[in-house]
Amino acid sequence: MIKPYGAGQLMPLYVADEKERGTLLNEAENLPALEVSSAVAANAVMLGGGYFTPLAGFMDRQDALHVAREMHTANDLFWPVPVLNLTDSFAVKPGGRISLRDPGTPGTPVLAIQDVERVEALSDEDIEIITRNVYGTTDQTHPGISAFMSLGRTLVSGPVRVLNHSYFELDFPETFRTAEQIRREIAGRGWKKVIAFQTRNPMHRAHEELCKIARDAVSADGVLIHMLLGKLKPGDIPASVRDAAIRKMVELYFPPNSVMVTGYGFDMLYAGPREAVLHAIFRQNAGCTHLIVGRDHAGVGDFYGAFDAQAIFEEQVPEGVLEIEIFKADHTAYSKKLDQVVMMRDVSDHQEDDFVLLSGTRVREMLLAGEPLPPEFARPEVGKILMDHYQAG
């Protein structure tokens, strides 16, 4: 199987030994407590699940700025996005330990224990450097920047021991999987070549067919449909609805044992190209050999060019650093001329009217009005799940 990123073996920071975990939970009751944000809790969950291999915890200011400017940590590990524990002012001194409390679970239970190596304040200049380089803009209407700016300016860095997977394991028991669990299932299925599809949305016909086109193009044994289960921007479809819609599509329209439907506990950054590289690291750590990177991957609004998330792999990712390979996809849509879903780059003789194209706004309008989506755009069973959600809303 493909090696984890930057390490000989996966490095999940979740404490799997029940006795050791119990001891740490008891210790945590007497430690200074920090109730973290949703974004920081999601970082802890990803550290626990091995997705952030080979990181040992939260980055300090030096690493955060190195990663933002150069896509490398201070010790020269290639990494695209700072992984931070940012909070408001917090009265704790370096050298101690703290418990991180989970904001997403009733009672704010202990999520992790962190050894505090440094407590540093980020300046306005630091924030500008991070936002401009990671997100490509400082525009605070960008939802990723808006979320980042709300986290605070105090940076608490150091290694962590993760003690649970927040609400993800409880709310999505059939879907949430750590990188370690996905690797085990891939091995159990006997798959050697696996192509991953990242999604934060329900999957329409175009997404379904893209997975099939990419699977055939790289001769993959199977497809990992890997959905983000964490926090999105307002107006996006909830994870539970996306999960149900994707599972129905796979059940009815993919061959048996050809797809794994899984999810991971992370909040969307909407960081476009930088986040696409992070997605590749996630999937390499999960055991995938290929990742589909499509048009405006991980983008939002008009902040990124249509294929910036593909170009970054050629222009800024050093050769040989990643073992996972990128399948570059174009926008995919149903061709009225050919009576099938195609990638637009493959049909140069087509005009816009030759495709079945619906904007997100138009899709929402149709579903709210109880109007079925065209079968060329969405499978009827998927459309019904989405319509039930909007009608109930």
In a domain, 75, yes or no: yes
Residues forming a β-bridge with 78 = 72
For the residues of 72-109, what is the DSSP string, one character each?
A: B-TT--B-SS----EES-----TT-EEEEEPTTSTT--
In a domain, 12, yes or no: no
At 253, phi and psi to the nearest 5?
-125, 5
Least confident of 12-16, 96-100, 311-315, 345-349: 345-349
Residue 232 has pLDDT above 90, yes or no: no
Domain boundary among 166, 188, 210: 166
Residue-level pLDDT at 91: 80
Question: How many structural domains does the chain have?
Answer: 2
Residue-level pLDDT at 148: 96
CA distances to 25, 277, 362, 387 from 143, in Å: 35, 19, 22, 26
Considering the candidates 61, 132, 133, 201, report the single residue annotated as catalytic: 201
Same domain, 140 and 248: no
What's the rounded Cα separation, in Å, for the pair 111 and 169? 13
In a domain, 10, yes or no: no
Same domain, 195 and 331: yes
Same domain, 233 and 127: no
Q: Is 8 helix (H, G, I), strand (E, B) or coil?
A: coil
Same domain, 106 and 208: no
Residue 235 has pLDDT above 80, yes or no: no
Q: 358: pLDDT confidence band, cut at 50, 70 and 90?
A: confident
Q: 102: pLDDT confidence band, cut at 50, 70 and 90?
A: very high
What percentage of the chain reaches a pLDDT higher than 70? 100
CATH code (residue 236): 3.40.50.620
Same domain, 325 and 349: yes
In a domain, 1, yes or no: no
The DSSP letter of residue 51 is T
Same domain, 182 and 161: no
Q: What is the mean pLDDT of residues 149-161?
A: 96
Element (H, E) at 121: strand 118-121
**280 contacts 324 by C-beta, under 8 angstroms:** yes
Q: Where are the alpha helices (DSSP H) in the chain?
A: 18-28, 38-49, 61-70, 124-135, 143-149, 168-171, 179-189, 205-218, 239-253, 272-285, 308-315, 360-368, 380-392
What's the rounded Cα separation, in Å, for the pair 149 and 160? 23
Same domain, 234 and 313: yes
Same domain, 187 and 255: yes
Q: 393: pLDDT confidence band, cut at 50, 70 and 90?
A: low
What percentage of the chain reaches a pLDDT higher than 90? 90
Q: 380: pLDDT confidence band, cut at 50, 70 and 90?
A: very high
Domain boundary among 149, 166, 183: 166
- Is 164 one of the annotated active-site residues of the chain? no
Same domain, 101 and 184: no
Same domain, 150 and 215: no
CATH code (residue 47): 3.10.400.10
Residue-level pLDDT at 175: 96
For residue 160, give every residue at least 6 positions away whose Cβ sits within 8 Å of its Cβ, in sequence order, or none: 13, 44, 47, 48, 56, 57, 58, 100, 112, 113, 114, 115
pLDDT digits (tens, 9 = 90+) for 34-64: 999 999 999 999 999 999 999 999 999 999 9
Residue-level pLDDT at 196: 98
In a domain, 5, yes or no: no
Residue-level pLDDT at 284: 98
Residue 180 has pLDDT above 90, yes or no: yes
Same domain, 320 and 232: yes
- Is 285 one of the annotated active-site residues of the chain? no
Same domain, 348 and 252: yes
Considering the candidates 200, 205, 274, 379, report the single residue annotated as catalytic: 200
Q: Which strands sit side by side in the sheet containing 355-356, from one edge to the other?
A: 340-343, 332-335, 355-356
In a domain, 100, yes or no: yes
In a domain, 9, yes or no: no
**160 contacts 57 by C-beta, under 8 angstroms:** yes
For residue 390, give every residue at least 6 positions away whose Cβ sits within 8 Å of its Cβ, in sequence order, or none: 364, 367, 368
Element (H, E) at 159: strand 154-162
Q: Which of 121, 131, 103 is nearest to 45 (CA)?
A: 103
| Range of the structural domain that residue 219 is part of | 175-264+270-392
Domain boundary among 118, 139, 166: 166
In a domain, 4, yes or no: no
